[in-house]
């Protein structure tokens, strides 16, 4: 009998932001294959005799290549195990979850997806920033700051022209370039903006500034990945809405 793989979203960081369905999968897992962004506390929910595969490690600074991760999943399922592939946030938001799903399906293996709370929405909420607000943002746009090599860069010109909230994932190494490109494209210098680092965890930190000062302030504060860059009027609501985490 072959096993089955559940592609589970672990949520943005706070272990309590895992779904009930995800937790149930984890509790009956025989193998867990997890990423760097997954809160290690969640692994304690899996049975003690479960296999753990850490595929978020960077051997000599090189991340484990995707085909190798796919192969680990395939091998575990072929050995008849209940496999939980635990991924940060939602598995289909820039997480290469769909590639893993395809690789498993191509081998005729059973896969199920358990969505998670994406950091793009839940991570902002943890910092008191609503991704939309009736009076100032009627859309939101989630983009990656880091594109596959050889791909066209993001069209910052077009993105600058949208009035909704702009959320940039994986953008920290490019924050200066991204902010400059948006300003060049005509985005107002005083547009409220923020960087939320390690959102929804006890280490969460937020820096907020007008767009024209965001990169400088974030760099001065030593902000780094994982972090969300958010640009739009909704950021100004943070002052009113920010709440402290319950214990």
Give the active site residues: 35, 57
Instruction: Kindly state the number of chain residues that form the binding site for ligand SAH, as judged by CB under 6 A.
Output: 25
Least separation in angstroms between residue 92's CB and ligand SAH is: 8
Least separation in angstroms between residue 123's CB and ligand SAH is: 5
Please answer whether residues 236 and 190 qualify as being in contact, where contact means their C-beta atoms are separated by less than 8 angstroms.
Answer: no
For residue 66, what is the DSSP state? H
Does residue 223 bind ligand SAH (CB under 6 A)?
no
Q: Considering only 59-67, 82-90, 155-163, 181-189, which stretch makes contact with ligand SAH by CB under 6 A? A: 82-90
Of the candidate residues 88, 115, 128, 232, the single one contacting ligand SAH (CB under 6 A): 88
Nearer to ligand SAH, 109 or 206 (CB): 206
Please report where in the chains the tokens 């002052």 appear, as a residue. Answer: 239
Residue number, nearest CB to ligand SAH: 89
Least separation in angstroms between residue 142's CB and ligand SAH is: 9
Nearer to ligand SAH, 130 or 226 (CB): 226
Residues 116-175 that bind ligand SAH (CB under 6 A): 118-120, 123, 169-170
Q: Considering only 18-26, 81-89, 133-141, 149-157, which stretch makes contact with ligand SAH by CB under 6 A? A: 81-89
Give the separation between CA 119 and CA 88, rounded to whole angstroms. Answer: 8
Please answer whether residues 217 and 209 qualify as being in contact, where contact means their C-beta atoms are separated by less than 8 angstroms.
Answer: yes
Nearer to ligand SAH, 81 or 118 (CB): 118
**Among the residues of 17-135, which ranges form H helices?**
20-27, 66-78, 97-106, 124-126
Of the candidate residues 198, 206, 214, 223, the single one contacting ligand SAH (CB under 6 A): 198
The alpha carbon dihedral of 6, 9, 13, 19 has a sign of: negative
Helix (H) or strand (E) holding 181: helix 175-184
Of the candidate residues 199, 206, 209, 230, the single one contacting ligand SAH (CB under 6 A): 199
CB within 8 Å of 212: residues ≥ 6 apart:
179, 183, 189, 190
Phi/psi at 101 (5° precision):
-60, -45
* Of residues 122, 94, 121, 100, the one with CA closest to residue 14: 122
Angle at 127 (CA atoms; ends 21, 40), nearest 5 degrees: 45
| Positions that interact with ligand SAH (CB under 6 A) | 12-13, 37, 87-90, 93-95, 118-120, 123, 169-170, 196-200, 225-228
């Amino acid at each position: 009998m072959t096993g089955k793989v559940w592609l589970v979203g672990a949520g943005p960081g706070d272990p309590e932001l895992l779904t009930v369905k995800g937790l149930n999968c984890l509790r009956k897992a025989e193998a867990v294959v997890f990423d760097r962004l997954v809160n290690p506390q969640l692994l304690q929910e899996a049975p003690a005799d479960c296999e753990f595969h850490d595929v978020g490690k960077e051997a000599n600074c090189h991340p484990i290549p995707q085909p190798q991760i796919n192969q680990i999943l395939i091998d575990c399922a072929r050995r008849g195990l209940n496999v939980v592939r635990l991924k940060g946030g939602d598995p289909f938001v820039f997480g290469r979850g769909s590639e893993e799903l395809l690789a498993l399906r191509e081998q005729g293996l059973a896969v199920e997806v358990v969505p998670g709370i994406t950091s793009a929405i839940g991570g902002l909420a943890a910092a008191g920033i609503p991704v939309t607000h009736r009076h100032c943002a009627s859309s939101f746009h989630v983009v990656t700051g880091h594109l596959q090599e050889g791909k066209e860069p993001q069209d910052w010109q077009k993105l600058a022209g949208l009035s909704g909230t702009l959320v940039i994932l994986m953008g920290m190494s490019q924050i200066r370039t991204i902010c400059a490109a948006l300003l060049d494209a005509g985005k107002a210098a005083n547009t409220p903006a923020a960087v939320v680092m390690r959102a929804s965890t006890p280490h969460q930190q937020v820096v907020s500034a007008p767009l024209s000062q965001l990169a400088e302030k974030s760099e001065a504060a030593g902000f780094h990945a994982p972090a969300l860059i958010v640009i739009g009027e909704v950021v100004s609501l943070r002052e009113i809405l920010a709440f402290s985490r319950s214990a």
